[in-house]
């Protein structure tokens, strides 16, 4: 099956996110350009601290007509609910390594909450969030008439908040941004590992698959692929810097796109960085 695109959900969630942003952006002060990142205290749910409450996510009706193969799954994320009920520093805890991860991330970023309370005041609270997603595949045509496939939601996502193990005692909240584009370009602002920037940590292991042509020729080698790992731990816009023939460069990019990471950090804040991955294609006896 050709690559599955998820533009239908992106449009719906972008609309939802934008509406929520309009209600909160006017209350968010703009920091001076040279201001140091502000560290905030993070609380855990417990005595004296109430849990945030997830507000209903307003999505358009779900059409199941022309619905083909079902693609379902659950993704577990970590997040901080700030004192205005917005999700911050959203990261993967248990990803699937599929396009459903992107669904879950966009859903979490579009969520809004009743914030947690301590001593009568809203505070930043660390939480886990399990997002259960039910989708189906629809075949359609793009502007050139070529057939492609779209993933569509079949039902409202089911979400469950829980305690976050090993939540930070304090942190820097990542800037509020719109739902990340798919994909980010190479010119998207990013850092390089080093000089106070930690490397992203892989959360899963992906085996690259041989192309049929390379397999039949017993062709192997090492392909180098660069990508930007965004502040949520998602690889974006992978590109080849040391190619291989017979379709292996394309297979290497597919493998890198399935990786999920704990994002790079700088002064306690998750940030986007560029990485290079060596993808090995080696025959074994």
Alpha-carbon span 36 to 211, nearest angstrom: 49
The string of pLDDT tens digits covering residues 145-173 is 788 878 888 889 999 999 998 888 899 99
pLDDT of residue 244: 94
| pLDDT at 187 (0 to 100) | 59
What pLDDT is stored for residue 254 in this prediction?
95
The CA–CA distances, whole Å, from 153 to 62, 66, 88, 226 equal 6, 12, 24, 31
Tell me the sheet residues that pair with 151: 137
CATH fourth-level superfamily of 201-281: TonB (3.30.2420.10)
- Specify whether the CB–CB gap between 204 and 95 falls below 8 A: yes
Is residue 23 helix, strand or coil?
A: helix
What is the per-residue pLDDT for 19?
A: 43
> Distance (Å, rounded) from C-alpha 95 to C-alpha 92?
6
CB burial class (10 A; 0-12, 13-18, 19+) of residue 46?
exposed
Q: Which residues pair with 78 in a beta bridge?
A: 91, 128
Whether 107 contacts 13, CB under 8 Å: yes
Cα 148 to Cα 146: distance, rounded to the nearest angstrom:
6
C-beta of residue 272 within 8 angstroms of C-beta of residue 230: yes
What is the value of pTM for the model shown?
A: 0.81
pLDDT at 59: 78
Domain boundaries, the chain: 4-172, 201-281
Task: Give the contacts of 241 (CB within 8 A, at least 6 positions apart).
Answer: 224, 225, 226, 276
Per-residue pLDDT tens digits for 95-118: 999 999 998 999 999 999 999 999
Q: What is the pLDDT of residue 100?
A: 94
Could you tell me how many residues make up the chain? Answer: 285
Written as tens digits, the pLDDT of the chain (285 aa) is 334 444 444 444 443 444 444 433 333 333 344 456 688 999 999 999 999 999 998 777 776 677 788 999 999 999 999 999 999 999 999 999 999 999 899 999 999 999 999 999 999 999 999 999 999 888 777 777 788 878 888 889 999 999 998 888 899 998 876 455 444 455 566 788 888 999 999 999 899 999 999 999 999 999 999 999 999 999 998 999 999 999 999 999 999 999 999 999 998 899 999 999 999 998 775
Burial 183-196 (b: 16+ CB within 10 A, else e): bbeeeeebeebeee
* pLDDT given at position 143: 72
């Amino acid at each position: 099956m050709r690559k599955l695109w998820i533009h239908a959900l992106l449009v719906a969630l972008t609309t939802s996110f934008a509406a929520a942003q309009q209600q909160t952006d006017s209350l968010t002060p703009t920091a001076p350009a040279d201001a140091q990142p502000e560290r905030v205290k993070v609380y855990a749910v417990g005595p004296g601290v109430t849990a945030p409450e997830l507000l209903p996510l307003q999505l358009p009706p779900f059409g199941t007509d022309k619905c083909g193969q079902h693609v379902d799954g659950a993704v577990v994320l970590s997040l901080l609910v700030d004192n205005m009920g917005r999700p911050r520093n959203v990261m993967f805890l248990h990803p699937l390594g599929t396009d459903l991860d992107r669904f879950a991330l966009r859903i979490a970023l579009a969520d809004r909450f009743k914030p947690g309370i301590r001593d009568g005041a809203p505070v930043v609270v660390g939480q886990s969030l399990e997002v259960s997603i039910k989708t189906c595949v629809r075949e359609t045509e793009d502007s050139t008439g070529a057939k492609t496939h779209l993933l569509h939601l079949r039902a409202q996502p089911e979400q469950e908040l829980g305690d976050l193990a090993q939540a930070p005692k304090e942190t820097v909240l990542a800037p509020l941004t719109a739902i990340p584009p798919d994909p980010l370009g190479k010119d998207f602002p990013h850092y390089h590992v080093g000089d106070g920037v930690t490397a992203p940590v892989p959360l899963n292991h992906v085996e690259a698959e041989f192309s049929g042509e390379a397999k039949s020729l017993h062709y192997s080698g090492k392909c180098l692929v660069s990508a930007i790992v965004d502040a949520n731990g998602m690889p974006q816009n992978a590109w080849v810097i040391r190619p291989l023939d017979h379709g292996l460069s394309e297979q290497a990019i597919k493998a890198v796109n399935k990786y999920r990471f704990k994002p790079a950090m700088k002064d306690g804040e998750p940030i986007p960085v560029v990485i290079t991955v060596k993808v090995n294609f080696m025959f074994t006896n």
